[in-house]
Amino acid sequence: MSNITESHKRVELRGIGVSPGVATGLVFLMTTEEERFVERDIEENEVAREIARFEEALIATRRQLREIQQQVNAEIGKESANIFEAHLLVVDDRALVEEVIRGLSVHKKNVETVLRIVADRYAQALLRVEDDYLRERAADVRDVTRRILRNLSGVSSSGLANLATPCILVANDLAPSEAATMNKKNILAFVTDLGSPTSHTAIMARAMNVPAIVGLHDVSIRVSRGDPVLIDGSKGVLIIHPTEEDLESYGKLEASRKLIRTGFDLLREEAAETIDGYHVLLSANIELAEDVEKVIESGASGVGLFRSEYLFLSQKNHLPTEDEQVAAYERLARRLAPEHAVIRTLDLGGDKFLSQVKMPQEMNPFMGWRAIRFCLAQPDIFKTQLRAILRASHLGNVKIMYPMISSLDEVLKANLLLDECKDELRSQRIPFDEDIDVGIMIEVPSAALTVHLLAPHVDFFSLGTNDLVQYTLAVDRVNERIAYLYQPTHPAIVRLIQNTIDVGHRHGIWTGVCGEMGGNPLMVPLLIGLGVDELSVSASLVPMVKDMIRKLRYSQAEELANTVIALESADEITRHCRALVERVNPEILELLT
């Protein structure tokens, strides 16, 4: 690296460190299909060639849509397959096609540029009409346009699945669907323009135990593929073309941190218990069944959150069948036994979409048709998953959890479908756990305020603090411009957490925290003091959280909770949390992002 670094100017950038560690390597620059296209002037004699390219792309797009339609028809049903008729109508719309062809002569631009001009005009016109059906066609125009553009460029994917050499991934943003299909073995670190500590890029980086920085604004246009970079995920520092001095200095820093983390390895078989005997169930969050080995290596007690949607997102051509899901859930449960495995039902929508299922284009998808709302509206998909989870539950350590519950009605409807699945399995004499625990995620303020109504119908609560903070404080958790407003220690959040735990205990049910708040050692004493029964965190954070618990007295945590519940600001509460950690475990502060 030294020969390269000496011939280029060193640039240091600062963003939000979201996953600790130091990494050096060469940039793999991920760009979207739209970013790859350059507006280009053409001569009159090039128009015919551009028309030919356009026609070839239309033919390829039509063929792909027919293939997808046939797959969906075979795997989901005719009704879902009919969705693609609207896409095919766009491809065969002669008015649109002829306008693009005319535009080539008028604008004297390459076909990609003209297609985007024409398609944008069509989509905007559709959005202005009164008819709901026609307005929805705007999304079809945009979807088909993206597919045509990919075919014009010969691009079929971001290339993340085929990463052949170790690299540092740099992107504007990283969608969960892209993360699910990447070759994770060769990712040394993540760096993105957008994001916050609770964005999916950050969560993925922590799960993979690789350094990551988000919120760098324009890093994706300041680096080129192959540039050498150094990142410190703890401090949020990125250095482009680092010097030999940088490499030596950060190497020593990482060695010091590694020495601290080495001490955590000795805790693998130890209990997550305070000095005065208060036991906390310390579990792990994972995305794929294959990640269970990381859970066992970390010393966690089971899985408190299995994000089952990644099983769906990792399938490119079809939804996983019931048998495929059973195999994945059983593999997870068998490897963990006798420890528990909490399987969260599909949490799609927001920024997680299936290419196999048509989902509406929404102004605010994080508050739209997602999670339990999607599942209740798609009972065939939902019941297939519920049956699969039930079939795996015969092993005795599987639990079900519904995401993004906002009302009692949703719980009752989900439980009704679950009962239907149980009846179907009984009639087929397929064994399952008749007493399987059913829990819900508390991540919407309406749920946190009505837990007394929800508690009689479930067996446990799990606080999804990422979304609970986002929805309570009206702060988009992936918007780096307002990241400073994302405050887990806001008095409103502390009170909602306390209320959920207290109500759960009054009804004889346990409450866990599966959001990122539970993996932050600064927050651990406060959560314990509030009475939380379980913490479920990224496997890579389990040793650090366990160390924090074992250096603490429950009496200190309880005193902290009693003190901060009366405070008026997030900053005051954070200061009290930090002060306690400085007293009982100052070494751990070196590792915090």
- Residue 5: pLDDT band (50, 70, 90) is very low
Q: What is the SS3 assignment for 221?
A: helix
Structural domains in the chain, CATH included, are 2-31+163-261 (3.50.30.10), 37-153 (1.10.274.10), 278-539+554-591 (3.20.20.60)
Are 366 and 200 in contact, with CB atoms under 8 Å apart? no
Whether the pLDDT of residue 186 is over 70: the answer is yes
Nearest residue to 534 (alpha-carbon basis) of 547, 524, 544, 543? 524
Whether the pLDDT of residue 468 is over 90: the answer is yes
* Mean of pLDDT values over 217-236: 86
Looking up tokens 């798609």, which residue turns up?
Answer: 378
327 CB-contact burial (10 Å; exposed 0-12 / middle 13-18 / buried 19+): middle
- Residue 425: pLDDT band (50, 70, 90) is very high
- Residue 217: pLDDT band (50, 70, 90) is confident
Predicted local confidence at residue 361, as pLDDT: 56
CA geometry: angle 513, 193, 208, nearest 5 deg: 45
Whether the pLDDT of residue 481 is over 80: the answer is no
Least confident of 102-116, 166-180, 386-400, 526-540: 166-180
Predicted local confidence at residue 582, as pLDDT: 95
6 CB-contact burial (10 Å; exposed 0-12 / middle 13-18 / buried 19+): exposed
- Residue 1: pLDDT band (50, 70, 90) is very low
Nearest residue to 28 (alpha-carbon basis) of 148, 145, 139, 188? 188
- List, as own/partner pairs, every contact residues 324-328 make where C-beta atoms lie below 8 angstroms and the sequence separation is at least 24, other chains included: 325/384, 325/385, 325/388, 325/389, 326/388, 326/391, 326/392, 328/289
Residue 444 to residue 173: CA distance in whole angstroms: 25
Nearest residue to 180 (alpha-carbon basis) of 416, 353, 423, 4? 353
Residue 63 to residue 60: CA distance in whole angstroms: 5
Q: Report the sign of the C-alpha dihedral through residues 384, 387, 391, 393, in that order.
A: positive
- pLDDT digits 0-9 by tens, 286-326: 988 888 999 999 999 999 999 998 888 776 667 889 999 99
| Catalytic machinery residues | 200, 514
Predicted local confidence at residue 365, as pLDDT: 63
Least confident of 20-29, 190-199, 369-378: 190-199
Q: Report the sign of the C-alpha dihedral through residues 477, 479, 482, 483, in that order.
A: positive
- Residue 363: pLDDT band (50, 70, 90) is low
Claim: this prediction has a pTM higher than 0.85? no
Residue 120 to residue 142: CA distance in whole angstroms: 8
Residue 4 to residue 379: CA distance in whole angstroms: 56
Measure CA 349 to chain center: 11
Predicted local confidence at residue 3, as pLDDT: 41
DSSP string, 559-589: HHHHHHTT---HHHHHHHHHHHHHHH-GGGG
Q: What is the SS3 assignment for 68?
A: helix
Distances (CA, A) of 464 to 77, 413, 453, 572: 34, 21, 18, 23
* Mean of pLDDT values over 522-539: 96
DSSP string, 366-391: GGSS-HHHHHHH-HHHHHHHHHHHHH
Cis peptide before 338 (omega within 30 of 0): yes
Q: Tell me the two tokens of residue 233.
A: 């995920």
* Mean of pLDDT values over 428-440: 97
Whether the pLDDT of residue 279 is over 80: the answer is yes
Q: DSSP assignment, residue 320?
A: P
Where do runs of H (alpha helix) occur along 129-276?
A: 132-153, 176-181, 200-208, 219-222, 244-264
* Mean of pLDDT values over 423-446: 97
Q: State the chain's mean pLDDT as an integer.
A: 86
Count of beta carbons in the 10 Å neighbourhood of residue 290:
13
* 64 or 508: which leads in pLDDT: 508
Distances (CA, A) of 120 to 36, 140, 146, 404: 18, 12, 11, 34
Predicted local confidence at residue 174, as pLDDT: 75
Residue 386 to residue 417: CA distance in whole angstroms: 8
Whether the pLDDT of residue 203 is over 90: the answer is no
- pLDDT digits 0-9 by tens, 93-150: 888 889 999 999 888 888 888 998 998 888 888 777 776 566 667 767 877 887 788 7
